[in-house]
Amino acid sequence: MTTPSSSSPDYATLGFTQILINLEHKGGIAIVTLNRAKYRNTFTKLLLKELTIAFELFDKDDRVRVVILTAGHDAPAYCSGADLTNGWDPWRSSKKPGAENNSPHADGGRLVLPIYTCRKLTIAAVNGDAAGIGITGLQLPFDFRFIWGGAKLTFPFVRRGISVDGLSSYLLPRLIGQSRATALLLSGLTVVPSSTLLSGLYFQILDRREDVLPAARAFALEMAGATSQVAVAYSKALIQRPGRSVEENHRLESECTYRTLNAGDAAEGVSAFLEKRKPVFRERLGDRWENWWDDQVYQYRKTKL
């Protein structure tokens, strides 16, 4: 059993340059803005590092209930993929994965893990074009995706000579089905959000770029006020790490039910419902979390790679 300790960092002092972080304490919303507009927000080793640190902190920061990732709506793109100034170099490694120190691993997947396993609600507010890691790592691991209807989107990997990246081979078939995922990943076609190939991927499609972040933020505020941080975390973990059969899943769900039912938020949730008022959930994830499924699937944050 490991319980990640909670923390309350001052995000302004972290010295990030490729992302900007704004924590709205009152609402519990952290907004992360990609800060490389001049370079079409392309992905670099430094951006990977800053985003990884940020999402690992959000995961443990009990003040944060919802995280939004976005870009400037007047940037040339949400993210145009990897920075290819020096070819695939930053992506490439001289060492075989799985060797001694178990690294390096593909940067796309390294970005996805801390976002996907962040126990808070996460929203991608995609207010521009996106390619490669811009649609894999910066969209697929999020819980909700808001997007500008005019965005051009592509998984270009097979047209660049490399295999699919950013855990898209795992996430996309699960998110929208293997038929659509195969068509998108093996063709590298450029599509728009209303394409039937993307059906089900986007939570909301907005007509104007400048409306994407406000819509995401309004939704985030509603979620932060209406949902239990603890209930969200356990529910998200169940969705991401289900049982291998319906019977095993029953056991996992029962464990989570046991943990959440015998806690304060459940009592408040019922009281508020019966009294027809909005609930005030006070429990903090740092106090309540336990990785009860350690020996079932994989230990939280200790990937045996």
Q: Scanning residues 250 to 289, which ones bind its own copies (CB under 8 A)?
A: 250-271, 273-274, 279, 281, 283
- Collapse the DSSP code of 124 into the 3-class scheme (helix H, G, I; strand E, B; otherwise coil) and give the result: strand
Instruction: Give the interface segment with its own copies, choosing from 40-48, 86-94, 146-154, 206-214 (CB under 8 A).
Output: 86-94
Omega into 242 within 30° of 0, i.e. cis? no
What are the residue ranges of helices labelled H in the chain? 45-60, 107-116, 168-176, 178-187, 212-226, 229-240, 246-261, 264-274, 285-288
Out of 108, 128, 134, 137, the residue judged to bind its own copies by CB under 8 A? 108
Smallest distance from the beta carbon of 55 to its own copies, in angstroms? Answer: 14
Smallest distance from the beta carbon of 135 to its own copies, in angstroms? Answer: 13
Residues 305 and 288: their CA atoms lie apart, in Å, by 28
Burial of 15 (0-12, 13-18, 19+ CB in 10 A): exposed
2: contact with its own copies by CB under 8 A = no
Binding to its own copies (CB under 8 A) within 234-253 occurs at 234-236, 238-243, 245-253
Binding to its own copies (CB under 8 A) within 45-74 occurs at none
Smallest distance from the beta carbon of 13 to its own copies, in angstroms? Answer: 31
Greatest pairwise CA separation for the chain in angstroms: 62
Instruction: Give the interface segment with its own copies, choosing from 15-23, 25-33, 57-65, 221-229 (CB under 8 A).
Output: 221-229
187: contact with its own copies by CB under 8 A = yes
Nearest to 145, CA basis, from 206, 56, 61, 229 = 206
298: contact with its own copies by CB under 8 A = yes
Out of 60, 228, 289, 291, the residue judged to bind its own copies by CB under 8 A? 228
Smallest distance from the beta carbon of 46 to its own copies, in angstroms? Answer: 20
Out of 116, 148, 289, 293, the residue judged to bind its own copies by CB under 8 A? 116
Smallest distance from the beta carbon of 126 to its own copies, in angstroms? Answer: 14
On the CB side of 18, CA atoms within 13 Å amount to 18
14: contact with its own copies by CB under 8 A = no
Pairing of strands 153-154, 190-191: antiparallel
Burial of 25 (0-12, 13-18, 19+ CB in 10 A): exposed
Smallest distance from the beta carbon of 142 to its own copies, in angstroms? Answer: 9
Out of 12, 14, 158, 218, the residue judged to bind its own copies by CB under 8 A? 158
Residues 263 and 224: their CA atoms lie apart, in Å, by 19
Binding to its own copies (CB under 8 A) within 118-157 occurs at 121, 143-145, 157
Would you tell me how many other CB atoms lie within 10 Å of the CB of residue 34?
A: 27
